[in-house]
Amino acid sequence: MLTVERETQASGLSYTLTIQQFEDTAEAITEICRLDDDQASALRSAIATFEDALRPVGGVLNAAQEQGAKQGAKEPIRKAIREFGADSPEVQAEIEEHQKRASTYIIGAPRGSTGGLGKTKAAKVGKALLEKIGDEKLEALAAEYGIALEDLG
């Protein structure tokens, strides 16, 4: 994972967030779906076949990653500004909380109080990816990693 600094605003108050970005599509899917090492390795092998076609997916996921991290905790900041004023310690505390959350945010993967990708959605992503690689490549990958095809569902 890479980290980048991004400016954001809440009710006109600007501040900086540290946001995680994915190095490539395989890392993005591995993090979002919380794959184990064996699954991640199999995914990297599958994606290598489609690297050029999937390159734009990484950009889209990084844009969504940044947007989710920026927007994730602004309402408490806005509320603190309304109640206590922009220069209050309460606003600063809420900004610090947003900075903390943003630095660990991963799209769809539960991290503290961020959103979550349920098992059903993760299974759908995995199934869609497996459908894209085709039966022949799926059989080869399964054999390479000692996975019985019937165990893949």
pLDDT at 96 over 90: yes
Q: What are phi and psi of 2, to 5 degrees?
A: -100, 155
- Split at pLDDT 50, 70, 90, the class of 112 is very low
β-bridge mates for residue 15, sequence order: 8
Nearest Cα to Cα of residue 81 among 153, 6, 12 = 12
DSSP label at residue 109: B
- Split at pLDDT 50, 70, 90, the class of 115 is very low
pLDDT at 152 over 70: no
Q: Kindly state the average pLDDT of the residues 89-109.
A: 88
* pTM exceeds cut of 0.95: no
Residue range 59-95, pLDDT digits in tens: 888 898 888 888 878 889 999 999 999 999 999 999 9
Q: What is the pLDDT of residue 111?
A: 44
CA-to-CA distance for 51 and 152, rounded, in angstroms?
23
Q: Calculate the CA dihedral of residues 19, 53, 132, 24 and round it to 10 degrees.
A: -30
Residues 107, 68: contact at Cβ < 8 Å?
yes
6: CB partners within 8 A, 6+ apart: 16, 17, 19, 66, 69, 70
